[in-house]
Chain A
Amino acid sequence: MLSTFLAVLRRDLLLAWRGRADVLVTLAFFVIVVCLFPFGVGAEPNQLRAIAPGVLWVAALLACLLSLHRLFAQDYADGTLEQLLLSREPAAVWVMAKVLAFWLSTGLPVIAVAPAMALLLDLEQGGLSVLVLSLTLGTPILTLLGAVGAALTLGLRGGGMLLALLVLPLFVPVLIFGAGAVEAEVSGSGALAHLLLLGGGLAGAVALAPWACAAALRISTE
């Protein structure tokens, strides 16, 4: 079971490395979306500081959504997905490996540049660590929920748009608690409650999403 997990994880990370242009596109998208806000709402520092948590979280969420449709598309097109479904291991095992590799190659880079973008919006220094922590807990939930959506819309015409419609409503609670954590920390009321809720959400998503995703993949490939 572990060997299948590691084989899929290693392969997907290798593929992400060989196709690193895609990773850079996600990262550039995140940076550009954040940079658009000062142009749109004006460069008044107090105003930017107030909207910074929400802006950073929405940008991270959209960056995550941008590449989600690629999660299974290539494997579906070239037949690898069929072979994985015929593996004797439960599908949730390799689905989890794929999701983890995907998060490492798209979520993690966004988390890494998020503090720099936060400084751009003049977010208070105290909020930076909570921002990173909330993104670290929150983006894996986005990826797991998105993976279920990606599996359901696999092979459909206009699947990318449908995927966005399907998963964006599900992202709302994560956004509320993620951005809320940073705001609570900055306003001095403490972010613990928000972070605990995000952690609980992550535990639930890790336990349930791979199975839902595996079931959806079986339906999509039939």
Chain B
Amino acid sequence: MLEAQDLACLKGDRLLFRDLAFRLQAGEMLRIAGPNGVGKTSLLRLVTGLALPEAGEVRWRGHCIRREREAFHGELLYLGHAPALNDLLSPLENLRFACAAGGDHVAEDDCVQALVRIGLENQLDLPARVLSQGQRRRVGLARLFLSARRPLWVLDEPFTALDVHAVADLAATLSAHCADGGCVMMTTHQDAPFARPPAVLDVGAFAC
């Protein structure tokens, strides 16, 4: 479904990687590996269309993502390094806004349930600034439960700051998404108990 060819990424005046290619089929999970600074996050941003590649192109269902931007972004869920939380809003308000801004019509009850399921039932109405790092991360991840319709999940370090239980839950959620025919692409330095070990793409092998 997702396919990249001859990707090259320029950051400042340094070429991070070139000739990078991969292919992701429905039901597959891809882990982007490599040491810090090799360009893992940059690769994810190229794949989501937030950044433009220096060379090469990314294709979704056979179409270049730049030409079919709206259709592609309707099927993509990207959770970046920053959890996209506003400190003045409660987790519930943040989550509802994230869904509405993305173009999903989600009922308030579903948002509450997603937050309860990820373990934030006592923090629903607190402003996000009083949450811990792990709890902030969870608010962002709660969107996964509301985005089953979006087949492609691109996650930047989703396991950071989570406790052991949350890591296991998240791994199960990601495995279930793949079992339903979705695809997941993520960066992580952590081992997680996936149902099936994900394929690994080492960006370091394409470094310049």
Looking at A42-50, A72-80, A104-112, the stretch in contact with chain B turns out to be: A72-80
For the complex, count residues of A whose C-beta is within 8 A of B: 27
Within 8 A of B (CB), among A139-183: none
- Picked from B74, B78, B82, B100, the residue with its CB within 8 Å of the CB of A3 is B100
Given A14-B93, A74-B86, A78-B82: A94 touches B101 (CB 8 Å cut-off): yes
- Picked from B50, B51, B86, B101, the residue with its CB within 8 Å of the CB of A87 is B101
Interchain CA distance A86-B147 in the complex, whole Å: 14
Identify the closest chain A residue to B76 (Cβ).
A86
Q: Which residues of A contact B88 (CB under 8 A)?
A: 15, 18-19
What number of A-B contacts does a CB cutoff of 8 Å give?
A: 80
B131 at interface (Cβ–Cβ under 8 A)?
A: no
CB of B71 to closest CB in A, whole Å: 8
The answer on a CB contact under 8 Å between B86 and A82 is: no
B80 at interface (Cβ–Cβ under 8 A)?
A: yes
Given A18-B88, A222-B52: A79 touches B81 (CB 8 Å cut-off): yes
Given A79-B81, A222-B50: A15 touches B102 (CB 8 Å cut-off): no
Interchain CA distance A14-B103 in the complex, whole Å: 20
Interchain CA distance A78-B84 in the complex, whole Å: 5
A84 at interface (Cβ–Cβ under 8 A)?
A: yes
The answer on a CB contact under 8 Å between A87 and B73 is: yes
Q: Which residues of B contact A79 (CB under 8 A)?
A: 80-84
- Can you spell out 30 A-B residue pairs with CB atoms less than 8 angstroms apart? A7-B97, A8-B101, A11-B101, A15-B86, A18-B88, A19-B88, A75-B86, A78-B82, A78-B83, A78-B84, A78-B85, A78-B87, A79-B81, A79-B84, A80-B86, A83-B84, A83-B98, A83-B102, A85-B50, A86-B48, A86-B49, A86-B73, A86-B102, A88-B70, A88-B73, A88-B102, A88-B103, A90-B70, A222-B50, A222-B51
Residues on A lying within 8 angstroms of B by beta carbon are 3-4, 7-8, 11, 14-15, 18-19, 74-75, 77-80, 82-90, 94, 221-222
